[in-house]
Amino acid sequence: MEIWINPACSKCRSAISLLDAEGAHYTVRRYLEDVPAEDEIREVLERLGLKPWDITRTQEAAAKELGLKEWPRDAGARERWIAALAAHPKLIQRPVITADDGTAVVARTEEAVRDALSRREPPSSTPL
């Protein structure tokens, strides 16, 4: 399990606290420093079952500068949105948890974090 976070984000800190409280094994990715490539964004979108505009923070200054609210939201514009997310990672909704079962969730609520936790691989049992 991996969680994409911005440490300054209260929802990210809450998600980490819940993962820790549940004893989850996860990797933290500070996605503003370790910026996801376009291919990684495509993979996360596939895992989320969402379109790039569904995970875009349109109220950010960069979104306003780019005029994202005016961009088309269709298949023809998909790659343009993905390129914008890769170039301006602050636009990516957070936190994102990639679950062990190959899915992902935007974990902005406790329920979403618990959903990701429910998708964990069960611990392997050690034979006696």
Indicate which residues carry an active-site annotation.
9
With contact defined as beta carbons under 8 Å apart, do 2 and 98 qualify? yes
H-state helical runs in the chain: 10-21, 38-48, 61-66, 78-87, 110-118
Distance CA 20, CA 24 (A): 6
